[in-house]
Amino acid sequence: MVRIRLRRAGSKRQPHYRIVVTDSRNKRDGRFIEVLGYYNPRTQPETVEYKEDRALYWLSVGAKPSESVEKFFARYGTLDRLARLRAGESMETLVAEAEAAKASREDVSPKTRYDAVDKPQPTPVAEIVEEEPTSTEE
């Protein structure tokens, strides 16, 4: 069975992923048929780019997406366009619509790292002033 899934790349503690078409019997980072795009979780917001036309092709011939890839496809409308493709709409129309949707999305540089985003500074805690115990001697 052919699967569309994530293939891990990047160094230790700095992952990024490629969206690939592969045989389900291959290892996670093993041999693949085609690279469809990439996913970078370390940018703010996370970056997902893939070839919509090739994804629609592979889905139409029976490739099954993994859970995480299926979430990306649902978020960006690929699964809706697949249903319309199966209903008889032309591939060219759907690809043009996908390109228009991609252009309308906010552009994020893939080089913008999550570490570089301004993190909120902790608010300083007021200093604790110790009072000397007052004696209540009578």
Task: Measure the N-to-C terminal CA separation of the chain; round to a whole number of Å.
Answer: 90
Strands 47-50 and 64-65: unpaired
What's 2-116's CATH class? alpha beta
Reference 84, options 117, 113, 60, 48; nearest CA is 60
Supply the pTM of this predicted model.
Answer: 0.70
Report the C-alpha gap between 44 and 91 in whole angstroms.
32
List pLDDT tens digits, range 25-72: 888 888 889 999 999 988 888 888 899 889 989 998 999 999 999 999
